[in-house]
Amino acid sequence: MLIIKKLLPQGAGLAPVLLKRAGVLALPFADRQHHEANLSDGDGTELGLRLEVGKTLRGGDVLVAEDGSLLRVEAAAEPVLLVRPPADGQALDLLRLAHQLGEMHVHMEAHADHLRVPGDAELAQWLERQGFVLAPEVAPFDPPALLSQLPQVVAHRHEQAHDHGHDHNSHGHVHGPDCNHGH
């Protein structure tokens, strides 16, 4: 089994020629949500994914195996639903729906005139009862992180982005426009 412990988001730092030579690992959305999993590439090679907790694979990310080989992650085609506003509705209905689905922690892709959501039968029935027009399709599904995941991402980036030379918690203050830290 080939063990993979390193993730290069969107192939950061790799020369284009290396990206072209990398193998491809096409995975459905659900499989890209695991930081630890046993997978198989298209050629039958067994892969042991052992990433840091909280890492999610996105289309375009590059995995580095212990032997130095590279695998470019692609979003595999899978059943999804294209959601359009009700026949008598407006694009604003999609905005309201996107907000509601976000509160329900449903992953989605937002486009100018439609949403793309997982091809879940229960979700489809609920959306139809709301009057939305659905079109099932098989396509890559690569939604951005849910808003509920963003505070962790922002906090992590804040810790990495700068160090003021003091412990943020010991002073009991909140960062904002008047914190005098040169943000």
Give the model confidence (pLDDT) of 60-85 as tens digits: 999 999 999 999 999 999 999 999 99
Asked if residues 10 and 28 have their Cβ atoms less than 8 Å apart, the reply is no
Superfamily of domain 2-75: Urease metallochaperone UreE, N-terminal domain (2.60.260.20)
pLDDT for position 145? 66
What is residue 22's three-state secondary structure?
Answer: coil
Instruction: Report the CATH architecture of 77-140.
Output: 2-Layer Sandwich (3.30)
The CA–CA distances, whole Å, from 138 to 81, 96, 148 equal 8, 25, 27
pLDDT on residue 179: 47
pTM to 2 decimals? 0.69
Confidence of residue 178 (pLDDT cuts 50, 70, 90): very low
pLDDT digits (tens, 9 = 90+) for 87-136: 887 878 999 999 999 999 999 999 888 999 999 999 999 999 999 999 99
Strand extents, DSSP E, the chain: 2-8, 23-27, 36-40, 46-50, 62-65, 70-75, 77-84, 109-110, 115-118, 133-140
Q: How many Cβ atoms are within 10 Å of 159's Cβ, its own excluded?
A: 10
pLDDT at 91: 78
Of 15, 47, 19, the C-alpha closest to 31 is: 47
Summary mean pLDDT of the chain: 81
Domains 2-75 and 77-140 share a fold: no
Would you kindly state where each structural domain of the chain is located, as residue ranges?
2-75, 77-140
167's tokens: 């412990």
Burial bucket for residue 94 (CB in 10 Å: 0-12, 13-18, 19+): buried
